[in-house]
Amino acid sequence: MKQNSRVQLENTLIGALGVLSLVLFILSFLPGLGLANRVGILLEMGHMVQRAFSVVLFILTFQLWKRKRAAWNIAVLLLFLSFLRGLTALSSPLYLPFHLAEAVLFLLLLCFRKDFCCPSDRRSLGRSLLFLLLALAGIIVNAGISYHFSVKPLGETSLDSLMDSLIQGTAMIFGMGNPSNVSRETHVVELVTFWFSWGCILASILYAVRPWLLRPVIHASDLMHARTLVNLYSQNPSAYLTLEDDKLLYFGQKVDGVIPYGVVGSTIVINGDPICADSDFPVLLAEFKEFCQRSAHNLFFISVTDHFLEEYKKQGFGWVKNGEEARFHLADYEISGKKGAKMRMNINHARKAGVVVHEYCPLKQRDAQIEADLNRITNEWLQQKKSSMLTFVMGTVGLENPMDKRYFYATDADGKIVAFIVFVPFLGKRGYMADVTRHGTGAPSGVMETILYDAFQVFKNEGIEYGSLGVAPLAGLENDSPNPVEKLLCFAYDHLNDCYGFRDLYRAKEKYSPTEWVPSYYIYLPKIPTPDMFYALVTIQNPHQIREAAEDLVKGCAQRLRNKRTSPTHQSKPSRQVSWTASSSTKQPDTRKQTDADKKAD
């Protein structure tokens, strides 16, 4: 059989399995003993088992689509057990065709067993075993004991009767027992035990089907090769973050290129575009796509530019705009006029406070005192933060191995270092992005604006073309977009600022008067992203972000309620920031008044 025909037949088989699971689920709600028993059927164990079984089988169809070996093993086992149960406890002739269909699907899956070869992650298998043991404990102990003490007469507690009760109670969990004589209280216990056990079984299955991925060992030579590629082909401002320790690196087999990625569950998250020559991009993307699909992983690219957007579409990826990058064409950048008034005011405040900007070049000459001061500022900045530090989409200070990073710091009137910014190159060092921005306690107002402006002037004098502040997430999206994913992101931008200060971050970048806003995109496969892909997107940047966002959402709602009771014009505090932003001016030019957004920003 040809490979294409074989794949089509397997997909048809998997689709039929999904249809069967849905039909069995629907049939479990149909009366088998007349209309008078409709209500009773909803609590009868056999029907609940059928529902639980059909739900598990339906979930497995999505895993079988990715050719996961563990999903095949579980599906074959469940089909076999369900077929046996149907033969021993057939309640209606209506079910006979479906049990025969189960047998046919079971045999066909056996025929195609070699194609389901994606292995499971070993660490997840350990968790799967733990949940399976919990399910067995719930089944054997709770069901058996409740059945024994509710059915057996008092005093009849021999080992044989207890074992008999355990066996019958276990069978009842799988819909083959007869709980008709038990008390109402005992039936409630059995019902709780039933759902606990099946919940553990479902969790065990979900962990068992998590795919395994070979994690390459990165050597110093690999890092240097990646650095060369980044400096040659980095059209994306986030490309230099490829060299951070939190990235895994995929090097092209057919063409010379590198892709930085991380793994969360069954989703591979890529920061920026693949890095290679433009002519090699289609081959590198197709190669990496095949690499991910072989191991049954979804793909999610973040902070992608429009440079290769058409090629992503051509290769079947879904896409949606996810924000705009604040970029500066340095030859045209000015802060004169009304547009740059706020920027000038902040810089003037800093100048009057005695702020002076310097560049530190660690590769030319190390200065232990400067590096100690930069570390001190980092510690002060961390103490001010009320949220966890962002990773993956942001770099580190990297003084232990500066490579191509550039460091600009500011001193106050006393010569004390009070703030610094780390820039990383892109566009073959024709542009620099402000990656790490930190200020210490008591830094003068406007210090970050002053560092940025002076650094841009240095770059401009060196002939560098572009500066960048990175992407403002969810900025510039269209509310009337036909793309449902973009509508979802618009909703987040409009209503979830308590969780993440989307608007505040956009305004913080906007006040620098960028010469252009470059669109940024999410690129994903499958074309309709699943919830676990968005979970991976959030978790890889900050493992605690979901919990912190929930806390901020509750606090924001509570704050608004208090505001309504006091003053309708009262404004709530700025929301949590987890990305780059800069300081704003205050009423006191010689003292930095830190807002919540400032304290939590890089």
Amino acid 543: pLDDT: 79
The span from the CA of 243 to the CA of 218, in Å, is 11
Amino acid 336: pLDDT: 85
**Helix, strand, or coil here: 331?**
coil
Given a cut of 80, is residue 186 above it in pLDDT?
no
The span from the CA of 163 to the CA of 555, in Å, is 53
Q: Is the pLDDT higher at 124 or at 350?
A: 350
Given a cut of 50, is residue 36 above it in pLDDT?
no
DSSP-derived secondary structure letter, 527: S
The mean pLDDT value for 541-563 works out to: 73
The mean pLDDT value for 275-289 works out to: 97
Q: At which residue do the structure tokens 């065709």 appear?
A: 97
Amino acid 148: pLDDT: 59
Amino acid 600: pLDDT: 38
DSSP-derived secondary structure letter, 102: H
The span from the CA of 576 to the CA of 598, in Å, is 9
Q: Is 446 left (phi over 0), alpha (psi -120 to 50) or beta?
A: left
What are the tens digits of pLDDT across the range 125-169? 888 889 888 888 877 766 566 555 555 554 554 445 556 666 666
Alpha helices in 264-327 (DSSP H): 281-294, 309-314
Given a cut of 60, is residue 176 above it in pLDDT?
no
Confidence of residue 2 (pLDDT cuts 50, 70, 90): low
Domains and CATH numbers, the chain: 3-208 (no CATH), 220-321 (3.40.630), 326-517+544-600 (3.40.630.30)
Nearest to 509 by CA among 262, 342, 295: 342
Q: How many CB atoms lie within 10 A of CB 567?
A: 9
CB 213 within 8 A of CB 123: no
Q: Which of 35-39, 233-237, 454-458, 524-528 is least confident?
A: 35-39
Q: Is the pLDDT higher at 153 or at 282?
A: 282
Q: Is the pLDDT higher at 342 or at 424?
A: 424
pLDDT > 90 in the chain, percent: 43
Q: Is the pLDDT higher at 197 or at 183?
A: 197
Q: At which residue do the structure tokens 């991009």 appear?
A: 281
What are the tens digits of pLDDT across the range 478-518? 888 888 999 999 998 888 877 777 888 898 899 888 999 99
The span from the CA of 551 to the CA of 524, in Å, is 29
pLDDT > 70 in the chain, percent: 78
Nearest to 602 by CA among 511, 514, 541: 541
The span from the CA of 115 to the CA of 10, in Å, is 9
The mean pLDDT value for 203-229 works out to: 87
Confidence of residue 571 (pLDDT cuts 50, 70, 90): very low
Given a cut of 60, is residue 182 above it in pLDDT?
no
CB 555 within 8 A of CB 546: no
Q: Which residues pair with 467 in a beta bridge?
A: 328, 432
Q: Is the pLDDT higher at 359 or at 342?
A: 359
Q: Is the pLDDT higher at 583 or at 450?
A: 450
What are the tens digits of pLDDT across the range 25-34? 776 666 554 4
The span from the CA of 245 to the CA of 261, in Å, is 11
Given a cut of 60, is residue 583 above it in pLDDT?
no
Amino acid 399: pLDDT: 95
Given a cut of 50, is residue 233 above it in pLDDT?
yes
Average pLDDT of the residues of the chain: 82
Given a cut of 70, is residue 3 above it in pLDDT?
no
Amino acid 599: pLDDT: 37
Q: Which of 27-41, 350-364, 561-575 is least confident?
A: 27-41
Report residue 410: phi and psi, to 5°. -125, 140
What are the tens digits of pLDDT across the range 443-462? 999 999 999 999 999 999 99
**Neighbouring residues of 131: CB distance < 8 A, sequence distance ≥ 6:** 200, 201, 203, 204, 207
